[in-house]
Structure 1
Amino acid sequence: MAVYHEYIIIGAGPAGLQMGYFMEKDKADYLILEGSSRPGNFFTTQPRHRKLISINKVHNPFPEKEFNMRHDWNSLLCDDDTLRFTKYTEELFPNADVLVRYLNDFAHKNNLNIIYQTYINNITKVQSAKSGEDRFKLTSKEGKEYECRVLLMATGARKEIRPDIPGIELADSYTQHSIDRNEYRGKLVGILGRGNSAFEVADHLAGHAAVIHIFGQKPAKFAWDTHFVGDLRAVNNNILDMYQLKSMHSFILFDVLGLKKMDNGKLEVEVTTPCLHMDPPGFFRTAYSLDKVITCTGFQYVDLGVFSDACKPATKKNGKFPVLKDNWESENVPNMFYIGTAMQSRDRKAASGFIHGFRYNIRTLYHLLRERYNAVPYPTTELQRDALTISKYIIARVSVCASLYQMQGFLCDVLIIPEEAGKKPRYYEDLPLDYVLSNDYFNSQTHMFITVLKFTFDRFGDFGKIATNWGQMPNYLKPECQAFLRPIISYYNKGKYVGEQAGNESLLLRFDVKGFRGTNPNLNANRFGNFINQQTNISPGASYNVNFYTDEEDYKQFFVPLTEEQKKRLPPEYYDVTGCKPATMFLKEEEEN
């Protein structure tokens, strides 16, 4: 007889443990199946050079535990304060061995229901003889059978991607290459890839290899420009510094066509690159003679080989990601959900591919699962029917919460204000924005407000794409013309977008305190209060002070207008740019007499 549980989670990595924690806490009928002998087994060998790029910032200026989770990127959500990753090390970028120890403690201290050394190699659909409902049947390599109503795939990175080119078997892979620097001493090394793993390897070898060529088909994307944590991080990009200072190593935009083993033992690497800047335009082809080649071209997050045709999930990006609905359910296999790094299938702008992002996705999904399968309503908060009280609640939340901060523009809070005067507003936290916008219940509401934390650098064109352009004060008098992460509340009437109100930026992402001396501490709450009242009139006649300074005398003291002579030295972009002007402009140098 197959062992039955309502929920089965495959994988005891961070995602499986996080979902297991919520299941265990509520005594749900669940089981975690793990192929290895321990939790977090992936991190016993990966990342290859052992340094995590997830921030572990222990010391922060505010006391709230929730606020400090914004800067603790490795902890799982848990009521036990001893299970905070920041208790394990103060290293900003810790060694992965610490994460392995942390995950082991998390699993055991929370008494999670895990069966180890159970590798599932076949998944199919069957019908329950008793209820007639569809179930998933899981068979392990050892021949054990399990059945469940809901299947949660927490399998993480399943397979390393290797380019489909001739001779690729001659190259070492990211997960298997030697990390002994002495093996590369004085050697010519080629690295395929343009992400963090490629630059991580190059950085590790930079002092020993004679020459390193990183072959990237397209330019690297920098996290400091894109604000996406998965793009190239500064902690890994020393090789670019060396390249631009002409210190032998390089990052070059060549596409590798194939590898050959030469008689002298070296590898001939044939490459090509478009030269559209030449006259006539064309493709340049050449070959490099190298001692070592390492592929760092990412992972697949789906192993289709374990699924029968009855429940094979749809994939995209050449099989790299599962195709998921807005609630992380497989698009074509009902009741199968992907959790963990595969959640980035729906999100390539926030942090769904990392612990500090998917821990919040998983909490949200847990509540959605319990609502759908166990009739447990999604948790909400009832608020007073007053515009300013509501807006203060929103500002207090966005000033502290880590979920909207980490999952910027992806997770949102939803405020529903009933039309009936006697009914209180209801507040939902941490729902996927796409889920809300496609949900019949939310789209039927007369007064719906959606709150997100969001970057808006795109409002500044090409200027907004360069991180070092942003160092001066933003235009605090025009919140719509600011760029950094800040709260934006949008109003929908029966599913139709009506308008939005942005809050002011804050250097420390606290919107509930004064930004500077003399400024109005209630500015953001008052702005949101006016916006809510304008749309609903729930506080008739009310109007709240939205002046940046508390009074006119403060404005005169802290803001000094340009003199007439200084106005003559305004830069051209002051006149050329309409709408939102760049936040970094300087007066032209005075002309010499």
Structure 2
Amino acid sequence: MNKVGTVVIGAGQAGLAIGYYLHKDREDFVVLEGNERVGDCWRQRYDSLRLFSLPRYASLPGLRIGTQDCPSRDEMADYLQQYAVHHELPVRTGVRVTRLSRDDEGFLVETTAGDWRAGNVVVAAGMHAVPRWPSFADELDPSIKQLHSLEYRNPSQLADGTVLVVGAANSGTDIALEAVKTHRTLLAGRHPGQVPVDIDSAAGHFFTPVVMFLFKYVLTRGTPMGRKAIANAVRNGLPLTRNKLEHLDAAGIERIGRIEGTRDGRPLTADGDVLGDVRTVVWCTGSDPDHRWIDLPVFDDSGRPRQERGVSTDVPGLYFLGLDFQYAIASASIQGVDRDARFLVKHLGRRTVARAVPVDSR
């Protein structure tokens, strides 16, 4: 049985950010990563993925990413791997957590490579692990190839013929713009709105610091404006950031309404149109974190962890990091994760000190 002060579960940007501050404070901790390499959480996304953030905002504390522009998927993955080595963080790769529980001795973290005892646990396992499929997906004819955006890598996976991309947010529009180069492409779903400037232009670079400030410090759960913005984002999703409607139209993508079911094994739109010639469906319908291994009473009726700024409200010593809108609109971004990580390390440090003080001296 391995014993450590804090176990961090996940070595993506959230786990490495809090690892940096734990290391800086000389805390006793380990970071457990289920993938074989740090950064594989990014390498498993679609090939053409490119971040929205300039290097200043795509960098974790203590090491700037070595790109001149918004990094690609692989550049981000390699940067995270470099980051763990540069800061000599105690990351154990290829160690998948199978169960997290607690008893009188503290937390028990069971893994595929031995078990750990810990006084604190930080769950930083990522937000996009379990794909959301519509209930009627299994009603489609077996001849139609179906992929979720979490499975999609590049157009070589698409069958010959018409491609239907369901979900018109950032991932959906990225995939549609790639698919339309070689396939007739339909894009279904409500338009979520769009950022009014080209983020890759000089004007976009000028306004980025203002937007990041708003997302990080103004649109938080601590302000009325922030609570309203977060509720709207949870309900409707975030607007298109890089792609614009004019890009979709210029590329020849055919935009249609919602897909609400099937008829005779074919996709059926809300207007009653049957899409009979579709050969591939790419579901860009969202994803959820995988918390099934957490054997603790910490979730609400919707399956979300009950927490305040990442601190579990049910189990002392349990923390969450990297949740969407954990504290602010920016919480799922690298800069937001940095701020949330600092907050959690301070809370964890106060808890450690409090536990170390003898009862008689309080």
TM superposition score normalised by structure 1: 0.49
Aligned-partner Cα distance in 1 for 2:306–2:118: 21
Aligned runs of 1:213-362 on 2, under 5 Å? Answer: 213-216=186-189, 218-224=190-196, 231-237=238-244, 240-241=245-246, 248-258=252-262, 261=265, 268-272=266-270, 284-289=271-276, 290-304=278-292, 306-308=293-295, 311-315=296-300, 318-319=302-303, 321-325=304-308, 327-340=309-322, 342-347=323-328, 350-362=329-341
RMSD of the alignment, in Å?
2.7
Query: Identity of counterpart residues, as a percentage?
Result: 20
- Structure 2, unmatched stretches of 5+, are 198-210, 216-232, 356-362
User: 1:14-413 maps to which residues of 2 (within 5 A)?
Assistant: 14-46=13-45, 48-56=46-54, 72-78=56-62, 83-85=63-65, 88-90=66-68, 92-128=69-105, 135-142=106-113, 144-156=114-126, 157-167=128-138, 171-177=146-152, 179-180=154-155, 183=158, 187-210=161-184, 212-216=185-189, 218-224=190-196, 231-237=238-244, 240-241=245-246, 248-258=252-262, 261=265, 268-272=266-270, 284-289=271-276, 290-304=278-292, 306-308=293-295, 311-315=296-300, 318-319=302-303, 321-325=304-308, 327-340=309-322, 342-347=323-328, 350-374=329-353
Cα separation, 2, equivalents of 1:196 and 1:269: 22
CA 1:329–1:234 in structure 2 vs 1: closer, same or farther (change >3 Å)? Answer: closer
Matches of 1:55 and 1:148 in 2, distance apart? 35
Moved over 6 A (4+): 225-230
- Residues 1:333 and 1:222: Cα distance change in structure 2 (over 3 Å): farther
Higher alpha-carbon Rg: 1
> Which structure 1 residue ranges, 5 or more long, are not aligned?
58-71, 129-134, 262-267, 273-283, 377-593
> Aligned letter for 1:373?
T
Does the 8 A contact of 1:50 with 1:97 survive in 2? Answer: no
Report if aligned partners of 2:311, 2:319 keep a CA contact under 8 Å in 1: yes
Distance 1:168-1:371 versus aligned 2 partners, 3 A rule: farther
Which whole-Å CA distance do the structure 1 matches of 2:26 and 2:17 have between them?
Answer: 14
- Quickly say closer, same or farther: Cα 1:302–1:336, change in 2 above 3 A: farther
What is the CA–CA distance in structure 2 between the aligned matches of 1:312 and 1:108, rounded to whole Å? Answer: 35
Q: Does the aligned pair in 1 maintain the 2:311–2:318 contact within 8 Å?
A: yes
CA deviations 1:249-307 (Å, max 9, x no partner) are 2333323313765xxxxxx10222xxxxxxxxxxx423112111100112212422x12
Greater relative CO (CA pairs within 8 A, separation 6+): 2
Find the aligned partners of 1:145 and 1:260 in 2 and give their Cα distance.
51
> What number of residue pairs does the alignment pair up?
314
Whole-angstrom CA distance in 2 between matches of 1:259 and 1:4:
57
- 5 Å matches for 1:427-466? none
